[in-house]
């Protein structure tokens, strides 16, 4: 009974103490957001740093994947290039890493690796993969990064996470919240588009002894007939929002926000515009064969196409491309064409394969639908089909195109997020 008395007394004291102190509710709001912080760099400082080959790094955010002989070269955006030995696609070996700040793309020509280093183009001799050497620096070719070229200062952006705290918040479904939410979201989509998509990424491709690099608004042409000494020939203005470049039989197919540009590159040093196919938008990957271009259109957070489909475009007459047929898809991302076989990455829905010998009946010729293989991009390599998805960089044996066989997956620290 005595114990109970003291319990009662303490409860009473507790309640009265709290009541009389008129305790106020507490609210803490933490806002954590991703922002692009501007970084100004003096190009002379960038050039002064020596590039030393480092031991293998773990893949964090793999960017472009390039196949060269038995090697896989994987870009780590803004950081450098991973080199993997892919002699046996069932167990690729991570060999080493070339640290190149500001690097977003690469291409290899006769054992010469081309890589961008902010405004410069670097050439590495990779004939001996264990002893990679920087052999050439072509200066000031991607000069759109300069704030003013005479000062030699470049502007880049660093992905940063910022946190702010406040002791005021909004209550649940309060009016403040529901109002602000909409504007928030739209602001963010706007902000993301201004850096995420185009950014200042160069996209490289090699064809007929020339290196073509596209950035936001131009096509830069380099003569690489002497692989160790690229020569910058010209810039061709393409309009804004350039995204991808796909070479095929002396033609360049350039994907932009406004459409697919087709350039005739029979004179490799001076590509000529042939036509623009307007229906294709930025996040619509394109693959091409002799007669047709295959394009995937998807509806997503950043790709407001309103449809999810595979379009077949007749390009027999490159000056007048025309839509042949469209097939409904689930949420198609990247695609790959290997002979008569087309592989479509369906995002979170999986991976599909088709026989496209008859372009009018692609839907009746679906070979496989691997629903467990979530994927965003596919590269048809000589030894394996490389599939990029939440599991990392995976390789499949596709000797029997209708039956894919998984060989390996390279783990990635931050795999793509498929939603």
Partner 1 sequence: MTTRLLILGFWIFAYLPAFGQNRPYFNQTELGVLIGNPIENWSGKNKNRVDFSLISFHGAEISKNQVLGLSVGLDQYEPLTVFPVALGWRGFLGKENRPQLIGGFDLGGGFALLEKKEKTEWYESWHQGGLLLSPSIGVKLPSTRGKKTALTMSIAYKRQELGYFMGNFDFNPTPRPFTNSKLPPGYSSITETTYLFHSLVARMGFIF
Neighbours of 257 (CB within 10 A): 17
Beta bridge partners of 99: 80
Tell me the DSSP string of 111-179.
TEEEEEETTEEEEEE-SSTTS-EEEEEE-SSSGGGEEETTTTEEEEEEEEEEEEEES----TT-HHHHH
Stretch of 3-11, 261-269, 356-364, 379-387 contacting partner 1, by CB under 8 A: 3-11
CA distances to 54, 80, 129 from 96, rounded to whole Å, are 6, 11, 9
Q: Is residue 364 close enough to count as binding partner 1 by CB under 8 A?
A: no
Under the phi-then-psi rule, with left for phi > 0, alpha for psi from -120 to 50, and beta for the rest, what region is 416? beta
Asked if 283 is part of the footprint of partner 1 (rule: CB under 8 A), the reply reads yes
Q: In the bound complex, what is the minimum distance in angstroms from residue 3's beta carbon to partner 1?
A: 9
Q: Which tokens go with 19?
A: 């009541």
**Closest CB to partner 1 among residues 303, 359:** 303
Minimum distance, C-beta of residue 6 to partner 1, in the bound complex (Å): 10
Neighbour count for residue 410 (Cβ, 10 Å): 23
Among 19, 44, 50, 364, binds partner 1 (CB under 8 A): 19
Among 40, 54, 139, 176, binds partner 1 (CB under 8 A): 176
Residues with Cβ within 8 Å of residue 155, at least 6 apart in sequence: 38, 39, 40, 145, 146, 147
Tell me how many residues contact partner 1 (CB under 8 A).
Answer: 62
User: What string marks each residue from 316 to 335 as x (binds partner 1 by CB under 8 A) or -?
Assistant: -----------------x--
Two tokens, residue 412: 């990635």
Query: By C-beta, is 362 or 416 nearer to partner 1?
Result: 416
Decide: is 183 part of the binding site for partner 1 (CB under 8 A): no
Q: Is 419 in the site for partner 1 (CB under 8 A)?
A: yes
Residues 6+ apart with CB under 8 A from 35: 160, 161, 162
| Minimal distance, residue 248 CB to partner 1, in Å | 23
Q: Which of 59, 219, 254, 416 binds partner 1 (CB under 8 A)?
A: 416
Q: Report if residue 211 touches partner 1, rule: CB under 8 A.
A: no
The alpha carbons of the chain give a radius of gyration, in whole angstroms, of: 26
Interface stretch with partner 1, choices 211-219, 255-263, 299-307, 321-329 (CB under 8 A): 299-307
Min separation Cβ 127 and partner 1, Å: 33
Cβ-based neighbour number of residue 252 at 10 Å: 22
Contact 341, 354 (CB under 8 A): yes
Q: Which range touches partner 1 (CB under 8 A), out of 20-28, 94-102, 217-225, 358-366?
A: 20-28
Report CA 115 to chain centroid distance, whole Å.
16
Residue number, 40 or 188, with CB nearest to partner 1: 188
What is the binding site for partner 1 (CB under 8 A)?
1, 4-5, 7-8, 11-12, 14-15, 18-19, 22-34, 60-61, 159, 161, 163, 167-174, 176, 181, 184-186, 188-189, 192-193, 196-197, 282-283, 301-303, 333, 376-377, 413-417, 419
């Amino acid at each position: 009974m005595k114990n109970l008395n003291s319990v009662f007394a303490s409860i009473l004291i507790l309640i009265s103490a709290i009541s009389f102190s008129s305790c106020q509710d507490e609210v803490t709001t933490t806002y954590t957001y991703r922002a692009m912080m501007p970084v100004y760099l003096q190009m002379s400082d960038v050039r002064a740093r020596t590039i030393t080959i480092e031991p293998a790094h773990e893949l964090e955010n793999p960017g472009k994947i390039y196949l060269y002989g038995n090697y896989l070269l994987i870009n780590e955006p803004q950081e450098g290039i991973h080199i993997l030995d892919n002699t046996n696609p069932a167990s690729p070996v991570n060999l080493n890493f070339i640290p190149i700040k500001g690097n977003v793309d690469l291409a290899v020509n006769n054992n010469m690796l081309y890589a961008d280093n902010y405004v410069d183009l670097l050439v590495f001799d990779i004939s001996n993969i264990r002893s990679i050497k920087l052999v050439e620096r072509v200066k000031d070719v991607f000069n759109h990064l300069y704030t003013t070229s005479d000062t030699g200062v470049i502007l880049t952006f660093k992905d940063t996470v910022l946190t702010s705290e406040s002791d005021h918040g909004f209550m649940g479904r309060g009016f403040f919240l529901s109002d602000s939410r909409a504007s928030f979201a739209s602001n963010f989509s706007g902000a993301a588009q201004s850096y995420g998509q185009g950014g200042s990424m160069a996209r490289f491709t090699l064809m007929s002894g020339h290196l073509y690099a596209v950035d936001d608004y131009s096509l830069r042409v380099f003569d690489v007939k002497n692989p160790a000494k690229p020569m910058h020939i010209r810039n061709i203005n393409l309009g804004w929002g350039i995204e991808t470049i796909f070479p095929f039989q002396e033609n360049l197919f350039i994907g932009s926000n406004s459409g697919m540009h087709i350039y005739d590159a029979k004179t490799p040093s001076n590509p000529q515009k042939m036509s623009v196919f307007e229906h294709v938008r930025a996040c619509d990957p394109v693959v091409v064969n002799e007669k047709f271009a295959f394009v995937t259109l998807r509806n997503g957070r950043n790709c407001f196409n309103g449809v999810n489909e595979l379009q077949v475009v007749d390009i027999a007459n490159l000056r007048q491309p025309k839509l042949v047929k469209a097939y409904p898809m689930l949420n198609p991302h990247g695609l790959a064409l290997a002979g008569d076989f087309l592989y479509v990455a369906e995002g979170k829905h999986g991976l599909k394969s088709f026989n496209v010998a008859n372009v009018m009946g692609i839907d009746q010729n679906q070979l496989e639908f691997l629903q467990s293989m979530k994927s965003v991009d596919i590269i048809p390599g000589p030894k394996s089909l490389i599939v990029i998805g939440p599991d990392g960089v995976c390789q499949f044996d596709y000797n029997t195109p209708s039956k894919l066989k998984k060989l390996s997956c390279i783990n990635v620290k931050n795999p793509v997020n498929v939603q």
